């Protein structure tokens, strides 16, 4: 009977995650006119992490990284998506409250483990959290490079803001960050983004 109760709790959590598919982000997938949702973002960065983990500056546990990336935005079910360049982007108190609520749907100790991973991602001190944060920052850059800088242009984001906000990518791999900076500068000049 305990196992059935745990199955029901896990299914309730998974059904609650359906709401993440309705959380619209500010970026459009390459070649599409609609905006991406947070569930799509989480799936794509999990795969990006798997493909790039062999190039991480520090050795990382791939399962831990992927789990962090799949969990990190579930809080947006309650808080909504915050655009990375907005002043109110960092909303730890509300996001933490959402994480506590959502992960409490799961049976113990799984809910506690997921909450701890979510908190570890937010703190960005472990090699896995630093790598996961870098991947989370990298994906929107790659999308903007492919979609004509759509979200940067729509929100008047400057090259200086892009490079400052995403500098954590250097912790994942300095060569990757150097390449990304070159790509951003090249695309910025082509589409007329402000440098400062």
Residue 123 lies in a domain: yes
pTM, whole model, 2 decimals? 0.94
Residue 39 lies in a domain: yes
21: CB partners within 8 A, 6+ apart: 37, 38, 39, 40
Q: How many folded domains does the chain comprise?
A: 1
pLDDT computed for residue 87 by the predictor: 66
Domain holding 47: CATH number?
Answer: 1.10.3210.10
Residue 117 lies in a domain: yes
pLDDT computed for residue 1 by the predictor: 80
Which residue segment(s) compose the domain that 62 sits in?
2-191
Residue 196 lies in a domain: no
- Taking the C-alpha atoms of residue 53 and residue 74, their distance in angstroms, rounded to an integer, is 22
Helix or strand (DSSP H, E) at 153: helix 150-154
Residue 94 contacts residue 78 (beta carbons within 8 Å) = yes
- Taking the C-alpha atoms of residue 105 and residue 119, their distance in angstroms, rounded to an integer, is 17
pLDDT computed for residue 187 by the predictor: 94
pLDDT computed for residue 137 by the predictor: 96
Residue 175 lies in a domain: yes
Residue 132 lies in a domain: yes
pLDDT 10s per residue in the chain (196 long)? Answer: 899 999 999 999 999 999 999 999 999 998 999 999 999 999 999 999 999 999 999 999 999 999 999 999 999 999 999 888 886 667 899 999 999 999 999 999 999 999 999 999 999 999 999 999 999 999 999 999 999 999 999 999 999 999 999 999 999 999 999 999 999 999 988 999 988 8
């Amino acid at each position: 009977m305990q196992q059935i109760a745990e199955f029901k709790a896990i299914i309730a959590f998974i059904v609650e995650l359906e709401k993440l598919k309705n959380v619209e982000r500010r970026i459009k997938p390459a070649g599409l006119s609609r905006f991406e949702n947070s569930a799509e973002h989480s799936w794509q960065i999990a795969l990006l992490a798997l493909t790039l983990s062999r190039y991480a500056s520090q050795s990382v546990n791939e399962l831990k990284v992927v789990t962090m990336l799949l969990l990190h935005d579930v809080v947006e079910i309650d808080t909504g998506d915050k655009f990375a360049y907005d002043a109110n982007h960092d909303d730890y108190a509300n996001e933490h409250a959402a994480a506590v609520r959502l992960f409490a749907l799961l049976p113990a100790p799984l809910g506690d483990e997921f909450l701890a991973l979510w908190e570890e991602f937010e703190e960005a001190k472990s090699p896995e959290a630093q790598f996961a944060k870098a991947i989370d920052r990298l994906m929107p850059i790659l999308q903007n490079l492919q979609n004509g800088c759509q979200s940067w242009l729509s929100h008047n984001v400057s090259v200086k803001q892009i490079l400052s906000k995403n500098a954590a990518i250097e912790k994942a791999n300095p060569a990757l960050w150097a390449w990304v900076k070159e790509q951003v500068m090249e695309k910025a000049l082509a589409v007329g983004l402000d440098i400062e």
